[in-house]
Structure 1
């Protein structure tokens, strides 16, 4: 009796996790609230990916590391994550930290998708491995400077702390305002006292004081001092880096924190995906989601499409940025090479200048919008 021929056994499906490293400031001196919102977006999107079957049947696993706003800690985290076999690294909020992480990732041949840091020069040399969702600082801060000019402001004071990020912002403002007769005077945010800084603002007859400084210290005491100084009753306080976006700003300052224009990266109106994600983020955070939470969600949406379409090896991920076209919560994400950044950049990221309404500090007013690169 003939014996039936046996068919070769099929290879077992790979069900191992696709690992992705995630960086966020989750402890002080990092901006913990921003880190929490960023992580909420990352985790929400990852959960949805896995509920929909993962990456070719493999679960997406986030390996989260706290940078605490420390570049050295971020570099060490990238080293560790590379050793754990991650397909890519994502995240980070603080620009100086993201720059350190991007540089190390590039040196290790590891793709990095930056979620929320805007410093133009994210790497020292141009890199094909690094991509970024938020607009570069030079673009966003030019939009902010245009809002100041449109409101009639030409004499600008900045209360700045030492930082590459703050120094870069001052250069953008000065270069953009100067052709229009605007001036920028730099003051020390760490002055001996908030009152001493108020004296300097009054002496320079500035009509705007921009807070290029950490939150809550020294930003909150400076806002309170300016609001209570009768000499500065007509001075506009601004915070281009986005401090007033988060609920803690309103809790700390109440009405004093209203009417402070800042930058955020949301469209004037969310589409159906954005509305659905906003509701889910609100439930997860027990608060209104910031633009940073949407950046986190869009990060995973983009990376998931890359992993599903181009594979999970690092070279495939790094080589795919130019072919990305993903519908995110804030528009369709496509990356191009933007002059001055050296990385793959979402050029169409929305930019708004927004403040909290003095009549209702829980409500945001959109003062200016730029939907694409100016």
Structure 2
């Protein structure tokens, strides 16, 4: 066995490169929760003896929602000898990370980016914990349909992710008589959105936008327009999950349904981890924090079973060959990876999906409206 083989006396760390949006224009609060989950799991792995007696080390890089910056970080981390990559929240950034990781032969476990086509071609090097967009947004479409919404407007910014979401919603709703009206925020001022909703007779508005703006201005404009008193505002991408949303909008931000990747009830592991994350974060952990924890749990199991005999060439390929063999207890259920139609990477099929909102009576409390 070489000096870096599993079970040797080598106590050098096993490194994992972690990517997350920790500054604007990224959703920095999501990045903070993701990193909290990653770091908690690393501490627990090391407290239990690490990887074959070697400590697990996390090298964190801020992507700031910038694909070019993320690609440069992948190159840097590969040069530093990481065994695998983890993390990222924004789909367009995760696509860039996955593409570069595939080129370099570096295993990557995507924590929290849902775009179906995470890579342009099928790859054995990349796996994903969160559900594919085509799965989770179908659950959201079912929620809209069951609530009786057939005339739906989407206010969107230019993005591959938002465009994919619009297409998926249209495909799912059309067979049931649903119509989608697109409001292009590249040309439409947020103050003009209420008038367009009235003109098109929409009963629901979906915010396919970033926060704090233009989402905040649109919500306030719609809530203040008496003509739209019965209109549903939705945010399938999960903007209301984070405290920033409640701080930005207060009561106006309640009753905005969004997608949340949690079961109806957490099991013992999820309950314990959520409690510890609450202490670390000083607030209730989002599902993104649990995704971070689960990411390290999976990678640690993979490293223990597939070996850590180095970080280049065939050793990384050997590590990635373990995706279909993984069976790990996660905070939200048992994690196994498989191939799914239309998804180019190894996929956990499926994490739990629910549609949730903030309770108008207490915006700090969440209500589960629909379970997928």
Once residues 147 and 306 of structure 1 are traced to their aligned partners in structure 2, the CA distance between those partners, rounded to angstroms, is 36
Counterpart in the other structure of 1:53: 49
Once residues 267 and 230 of structure 2 are traced to their aligned partners in structure 1, the CA distance between those partners, rounded to angstroms, is 38
Counterpart in the other structure of 1:367: 369
Counterpart in the other structure of 2:340: 338
Among candidates 36, 40, 46, match of residue 44 of structure 1: 40
Q: 2:9 is paired with a residue of what secondary structure?
A: coil
**Alpha carbons 1:260, 1:356 under 8 Å: kept:** yes
Deviates more, 1:308-317 or 1:330-339: 308-317
Once residues 265 and 74 of structure 2 are traced to their aligned partners in structure 1, the CA distance between those partners, rounded to angstroms, is 36
Counterpart in the other structure of 1:19: 15
Map Cα deviations across residues 125-156 of structure 1 (whole Å, 9 max, x no partner). 00000000000001100100000000000000
Q: CA deviation at 1:195?
A: 2.4
Q: 2:33 is paired with a residue of what secondary structure?
A: helix
Counterpart in the other structure of 2:200: 204
1:122-161 aligned within 5 A: 122-161=118-157
Counterpart in the other structure of 1:244: 240
Counterpart in the other structure of 1:219: 215
Q: 1:113 is paired with a residue of what secondary structure?
A: strand
**Alpha carbons 2:158, 2:186 under 8 Å: kept:** no
Map Cα deviations across residues 55-92 of structure 1 (whole Å, 9 max, x no partner). 00100000101000000011101111111110000000
Once residues 12 and 167 of structure 1 are traced to their aligned partners in structure 2, the CA distance between those partners, rounded to angstroms, is 50
Q: CA deviation at 1:362?
A: 1.0
Q: 1:90 is paired with a residue of what secondary structure?
A: strand
Among candidates 157, 160, 164, match of residue 168 of structure 1: 164
Counterpart in the other structure of 2:312: none
Question: Structure 1 segments of 4 or more deviating over 4 A?
Answer: none
Q: TM-score, normalised by structure 1?
A: 0.95
Q: 2:334 is paired with a residue of what secondary structure?
A: strand
Q: CA deviation at 1:192?
A: 4.9
Q: CA deviation at 1:327?
A: 0.2
**Alpha carbons 1:18, 1:61 under 8 Å: kept:** yes
- Structure 1 segments unaligned to the other structure (5+ residues): 1-10
Residue correspondences, number: 360
**Alpha carbons 1:188, 1:197 under 8 Å: kept:** no
